[in-house]
Structure 1
Amino acid sequence: MSDLPVFTITRLFAVDRDTMYDAWADPRRMVQWSGPKGSTVEILSGEVSEGHTVHSKTVSPDMPPMYTLAKWITLSRPERVVWEQSFADEYGKKTVPEFFDAWPETLLTEVDFTEEEGGTRVTLSWTPIEATPEALTEFEKQMAGMKGGWGGSFDELEAFLAG
Structure 2
Amino acid sequence: MSTQIKITHTFNAPRELVFKAFTESEHLQNWWGPKGWTFEVSKSDFRTGGVFHYSQKPADGDVMWVKFVYNEIIAPEKIVYTSFFSDEEGNSVRAPFNENWPMETLNTITFIENEGKTTLTMIVIPVSPTEEEIKTFEDSKEMAQDGYTGTFDQLDEYLTKL
TM-score, normalising length from structure 2?
Answer: 0.94
Q: Which position in structure 2 is the counterpart of 1:93? A: 91
Deviation string 1:115-161 (CA, Å, 9 cap, x unpaired) is 12350001111001132110111000000101110011011111110
> What is the percentage of aligned positions where both structures have the same residue?
27
Counterpart position of 1:105: 103
C-alpha change, 1:46 and 1:155, in structure 2 (3 Å) is closer
Structure-1-length-normalised TM-score: 0.93
1:69 and 2:67 correspond: yes
Flag structure 1 segments of 5+ consecutive residues without an equivalent. Answer: none
Matches within 5 A, 1:133-144: 133-144=131-142
User: Would the aligned equivalents of 2:38 and 2:59 in 1 still touch at CA under 8 Å?
Assistant: no
Aligned length: 161
User: How far apart in 1 are the matches of 2:2 and 2:64?
Assistant: 26
Contact 2:48/2:71 (8 A) holds in 1: yes
- Shift of the alpha carbon at 1:28? 1.3
Moved over 3 A (4+): none
The alignment yields a C-alpha RMSD, in angstroms, of 1.3
Secondary structure of the residue aligned to 1:126 is: strand
> Partners of 1:8 and 1:138 in 2: how far apart?
16
- Contact 1:68/1:87 (8 A) holds in 2: yes
1:39-90 C-alpha deviation (Å, 9 max, x unpaired): 2321213512110122211122132111001001122111111110001112
Structure 2 counterpart of 1:79? 77
Give me the whole-angstrom Cα distance separating, in 1, the residues matched to 2:83 and 2:150.
Answer: 18
